[in-house]
Chains A and B, each alone.
Chain A
Amino acid sequence: NAGVTQTPKFRVLKTGQSMTLLCAQDMNHEYMYWYRQDPGMGLRLIHYSVGEGTTAKGEVPDGYNVSRLKKQNFLLGLESAAPSQTSVYFCASSYSTFSSGGNNEQFFGPGTRLTVL
């Protein structure tokens, strides 16, 4: 199993450009997440999904959109990139949540390093 994969690994954008980050998982997990990691800020949740066809806002959703058309894929879009979106982006997935009676251990992808000039 590949686990959680992310493409691309690196990307440089100019202000105003758009792009889509792709996350794929082969563990049949229901829950998927997009985080950004900035120095001294830890991980901040951008958007998440509790199942195919569902999405919800996290802590820092502004400037991002997501889609979960297939259970195994979770896409993160930047419609008009800004320098403040320079960050490392991580996708994660989990089988369940604690409230649903499961172990909500999250599995992370290797990250995408995005620079917006």
Chain B
Amino acid sequence: SQQGEEDPQALSIQEGENATMNCSYKTSINNLQWYRQNSGRGLVHLILIRSNEREKHSGRLRVTLDTSKKSSSLLITASRAADTASYFCATDPQLSGGYQKVTFGTGTKLQVIP
């Protein structure tokens, strides 16, 4: 099963509005990453937040992490039509021994209407 689950599955907003999407996960993690996927393209890394961090910013992106609730949120401020894409969270589990696989969620599909 997926470690990360995004919510909502789809989101439609007007250009200039803020977009918030959430990710919940099941086991303890080393870090959580957010990726963007434009239609027909590969995923692109947006931001990584480590388990000992609570908030991180990158341009118009703000990511929060609440390890007690096992959840993260991605906020895109002042959205643009070019932000239309699917957004995925990926979790790096905190397990012992060997290589631990990063697991991707099912994604939130964001549509920004001009």
Contact = CB atoms under 8 A, between A and B. Distances in A.
B33 interface: yes
Nearest to B96: A99
A83 B58 CA distance: 42
Given A48-B101, A97-B100, A41 B42 contact: no
B33 A105 contact: yes
Contacts of B90: 106
A98 B42 contact: no
Contacts of B42: 4, 90, 92, 108-111
A86 B100 CA distance: 27
B106 A42 contact: yes
Nearest to A97: B99
A45 B35 CA distance: 16
Contact of B104 (A40, A43, A56): A43
Contacts of A103: 48
Contacts of B33: 105
Interface residues of B, number: 24
A31 B30 CA distance: 18
Interface in B30-78: 30-31, 33, 35, 40-45, 48
A105 B45 contact: yes
Q: Is the interface of B mostly helix, strand, loop or mixed?
A: strand
Contact of B92 (A35, A41, A42, A98): A98
Given A42-B88, A43-B104, A99-B30, A106 B43 contact: yes
A2 B92 CA distance: 26
A56 B99 contact: yes
Contact of A104 (B35, B41, B102, B107): B102
A40 B5 CA distance: 11
Interface of A: 4, 35, 40-43, 45, 48, 50, 56, 58-59, 90, 92, 97-99, 103-111
15 contacts: A4-B42, A45-B101, A48-B99, A58-B101, A90-B42, A92-B42, A98-B31, A98-B100, A105-B45, A106-B35, A106-B43, A106-B45, A107-B45, A109-B42, A111-B42
